[in-house]
Amino acid sequence: MSRLYRRNRDLSRPIERLTLTVESPEEGRFDSFLTRHLAWRSRAGAQELIRDGRARVNGERKKPSTRLRTGDVVTVDVVRPPPERPPPDPEISVLFEDGHLLALDKRAGVVVHPVGAHQQGTLLQELHRRASTPPGPPGVLPKLIHRLDQYTSGLLLVAKSDAVRAAFSGMLARGEVEKVYEALLLGCAPWEQRTVDEPIGSVGDSRILMRVDREGGKEARSHFAVRERFARATHVGVRIETGRTHQIRVHASHMGMPLLGDHLYGDGIALPGFERFALHAGRIRFRHPMTGDATEILSPLPRPFTEAMDLLRGAPSAPRDGGVRG
């Protein structure tokens, strides 16, 4: 999550200037610093910002090779040409709502919050836009309780206050929130249930790629259970105790059964009509932090997912219902 989001900025209003403070591990060349923080910019692009005077150090123009020191303040003026085709506002599909929580049914392909090259048309920006429009209460902005990758579909919890988000953070840390995903794995599983208890860490200085890292990784546990076997794939339910980046995808690949269509951790070959990796956040269960009610929320498998299974089994599938149980 970006520093800007942690400051509770209204994401319905575009950023005009980025302000970054150099920390001790980040000392070094000006252009290298910008490249690390502006992941969507190449080094040549960062140098162009510096030469044009749109990126400055302590308010002054500097050369790309300037050495930055701890405490230096870097500002970047954001100039965005109008897009040829503005990204559409994301569809907001609500599965559950009360005075404290929203449970959304996210479509695959929707970006949850501004990151990297995806600075417009995100789900959180649309939620902020709606919250900032009367008759919404002033100054109250939704907060993500957890995140989903761009191409993961399904349940996404959103808090309506800092207190609710803080309560859920504690519940997640204590393992009091049960999250179950649906996935299609490559290969026919020879087991009924399997637990992967392997720590996960990043690959080098990559901001994206993760791996099992028994030396420096963070604790991660995933429980896989077979739902249906096909000739060359397996439908599994996956209950996770931790929420590491790409956890299910990394653990599935570690077992030698990557998610179908996973371009990072598998062969990337997707089923016809299902051009993404096969992962859906299907169920979440918890005791409501404000009311104390036992709550279970379900997200039905999207049609492309069920059609992919039809293709794998060669027969129609029964419909599944979604909703909330109190």
- Model pLDDT for residues 115-152, shown as the tens digit of each residue: 555 566 687 788 888 877 766 556 678 888 998 988 99
- Does residue 189 sit in the same domain as residue 68? no
Residue 85 resides in a domain: no
Mean of the pLDDT values across residues 40-60? 85
Q: 9 in a domain, yes or no? A: no
pLDDT of residue 116: 57
Q: Is the pLDDT of residue 23 over 50?
A: yes
Q: Residue 4 corresponds to which tokens in the numbers above?
A: 């800007």
Are 150 and 258 contained in the same domain? Answer: yes
pLDDT at 89 over 80: no
How far apart (Å, rounded) are the C-alpha atoms in residues 263 and 151?
11
Torsion angle of C-alpha atoms 82, 88, 89, 92, degrees rounded to 10 = -160
Phi, psi angle pair for 274, to nearest 5° = -135, 70
Residue 297 lies in a domain: yes
266 vs 274, more confident:
266
What per-residue confidence (pLDDT) applies to 142? 87
Whether residues 37 and 176 share a domain: the answer is no
Compute the average pLDDT of residues 244-261: 95
Residue 58 has pLDDT above 70, yes or no: yes
Domain at 59, CATH number: 3.10.290.10
What integer best gives the mean pLDDT of the chain?
A: 83
Q: What is the mean pLDDT of residues 58-85?
A: 82
Give the residue numbers marked as catalytic.
149
In a shared domain, residues 130 and 256: yes
pLDDT for 277: 92
Q: How confident is the model at residue 220 (pLDDT cuts 50, 70, 90)?
A: very high
- Residue 69 shares a structural domain with residue 112: no
Domain span holding position 64 = 17-77
* Whole-number pLDDT of residue 88: 60
Looking at residue 290, its pLDDT comes to 93
Whole-angstrom Cα Rg for the chain: 22
Q: What is the mean pLDDT of residues 159-178?
A: 92
CA distances from 128 to 12, 13, 90, 133, 141 (A): 5, 9, 12, 9, 6
Average pLDDT, integer, range 186-209: 90
Average pLDDT of 97-125? 79
Say what angle helices 43-51 and 30-37 make with each other, to 10 degrees: 120
- 103/224 same-domain check: yes
Amino acid 57: pLDDT: 93
- Examine the domain organization and report whether 61 and 158 are in the same domain: no
Task: Domain count for the chain, please give it.
Answer: 2
Query: Looking at the domain assignment, is residue 5 inside a domain?
Result: no
- The average pLDDT across 83-98 equals 74
Domain shared by 25 and 104, yes or no: no
Does residue 264 share a domain with residue 116? Answer: yes
CA–CA gap between residue 296 and residue 301 (Å, rounded): 16
Nearest residue to 35 (alpha-carbon basis) of 49, 21, 14: 49
The answer, yes or no, to whether residue 315 has pLDDT greater than 60, is: no
Q: Tell which residue, 293, 315, 261, has the closest CA to residue 152.
A: 261
Cβ neighbours of residue 316 closer than 8 Å, sequence gap 6 or more? 310
User: Taking a C-beta distance cutoff of 8 angstroms, is the pair 54, 89 a contact?
Assistant: no
Domain holding 193: CATH number? 3.30.2350.10
Residues 122 and 22 in one domain: no
271 φψ region: left (φ > 0), alpha (ψ -120 to 50), beta (else): beta
Strands (E) located in 171-229: 178-186, 193-197, 200-202, 210-212, 221-229
Residue 52 is assigned to a structural domain of this protein: yes
Q: For residue 2, give the DSSP letter.
A: -
Looking at the domain assignment, is residue 165 inside a domain?
yes
Confidence band, pLDDT 50/70/90 cuts, at residue 188: very high
Query: What CA–CA distance (Å, rounded) separates 136 from 305?
Result: 36
What is the average per-residue pLDDT within 204-217? 85
Position 41 scores a pLDDT of 67
Q: Are residues 115 and 28 in the same domain?
A: no
- For residue 6, what is the enclosing H or E element? helix 3-6
Answer whether residue 10 is part of any domain.
no
Retrieve residue 124's tokens.
Answer: 């959180």
Over range 143-167, report the average pLDDT: 92
In a domain, 144, yes or no: yes
Give per-residue burial for 236-272: e unless 16+ CB within 10 Å, then b.
Answer: bbbbbbbebbbbbbbbbbbbebbbbbbeebbeeebbe
- Same domain as 195, residue 281: yes
In this structure, are strands 279-287 and 153-159 parallel, antiparallel, or unpaired?
A: parallel
